[in-house]
Amino acid sequence: MSNYPKVLITDETLRDGLQIEREGVSVDEKLELLHMMVDAGLKQMVVGAFVNPKWSPQMADTMELVKRLQAVDGVAFYALALNDRGREIRQEFSPPLTIESIPTTHLHMCNSFIKRNTNKTLEDQERFWHAPIDRSLGKGVKESAIGLSAGYGSNWSGKFSHDARMENLERQYLAWQAIGASVTRLDMADPMAWNTPLEVAKDIAAIKKRFPTIKIFHLHFHNARSMAMLSMYEALRLLDSSDTLIADTAIGGIGGCPYCGNGQATGMIPTEDFVHLLDDLGIESGIDLSKLIDTHHRLASILGRTLHSQVALNGGFPQKGNFYPADVPAVYTFKEAQHFRLGKGVYEGNPTPWIKA
């Protein structure tokens, strides 16, 4: 029996993914992608954000999108909201949107990033981070969540230590405990992609020992330095069957915050690559990899650029019944490599020097 954790994928293509793209992806196209992802078996996705369109123009049509969104049994659609007004609007559209059920505290660790991303300072944060706890007083709240943003490091401040992360988590943990609310979920956001497998492994081992009530680990890792999949694998390896891992990913590995300094090059874990890893590990996802690959190529055609998934470019491991034919000729290009889904016409006429005439 597998001792891996239960894994839930939250796909961020339509929010974190598209927020870093230029304007021009229509609501019709977003809904087409959403329907393709639902058809592939994804059960959780972030469909947009109620934020200032001046600073996130690709999210300006979120309200139009959710007005046209139809609820789907067994599928959770989320939307980001960063202030009270955004949260009020989000509540108006629930359903079809799903609202997080437990109150959460969250601390940013980089003064430059919190200023660039939310127009606040760490000093401001000290005045407001406790508000979710204050609002929970006297309401019989039994569960809560804690989290960090930019906990691994910052392009403006450098690397943050394991001890600093634990201290900032403990502040929140003890504050929730003080009102009788058990902390059951951890949210770790790494917008500037400073995660490393070594640091993530060290954190998870310490958190499981230090904060034993946490059983849900929600990890949002960016991939600017090609560490995100390795870091997520460490989470898979160190968590066990009593835990749940919520992994944020995006089709084609798109994604990034405009205020982090790396633009489209930041990226996330490609959803299709992560599903392929889960399949290989024997972790049930209920997701059809071939349909995710089709979604990847539709998204690439909408954006007009090559995306970052190796699995979408090469296919998953060929299985008995669909191994490559023995007479596949020499294959050179990205397009020719697509023979696994487009057929032999993409390489027709290429040389086969090992086959005698």
Select 6-314's CATH number: 3.40.190.150, 3.20.20.70, 2.40.50.100, 3.30.70.1350: 3.20.20.70
The DSSP string of 193-257 is ----HHHHHHHHHHHHHH-TT--EEEEEEB-TTS-HHHHHHHHHHHS-TT-EEEEEEBGGG----
| Percent above pLDDT 70 for the chain | 99
> Dmax over Cα atoms in the chain, in whole Å?
84
Q: What is the DSSP string of 21-66?
A: SPS---HHHHHHHHHHHHHHT--EEEEEEES-TTT-GGGTTHHHHH
Nearest to 9 by CA among 280, 266, 298, 270: 270
C-alpha distances out from residue 319 to 118, 175, 200, 280, Å: 48, 52, 33, 12
Q: Per-residue DSSP letters for 70-97?
A: PP-TT-EEEEEE-SHHHHHHHHHTTTTB
Q: Identify any residues that bridge with 49 across adjacent strands, giving them in sequence order.
A: 80
Q: Quick one: pLDDT at residue 221?
A: 98
Q: pLDDT digit string (tens) for 138-179?
A: 888 999 999 999 999 999 999 999 999 999 999 999 999 999
Average pLDDT of span 301-307: 96
What ranges do the domains of the chain cover?
A: 6-314, 318-357
24-34 pLDDT tens trace: 899 999 999 99
Q: How many CB atoms lie within 10 A of CB 345?
A: 8
Q: Tell me the C-alpha distance between 52 and 137, whole Å.
A: 31
Give tens-digit pLDDT for 201-226. 999 999 999 999 999 999 999 999 99
Please say whether the beta carbons of 221 and 269 come within 8 A: yes
Nearest to 215 by CA among 244, 258, 236, 180: 244
* pLDDT tens-digit map of 93-126: 989 999 988 999 999 999 998 898 888 898 988 9
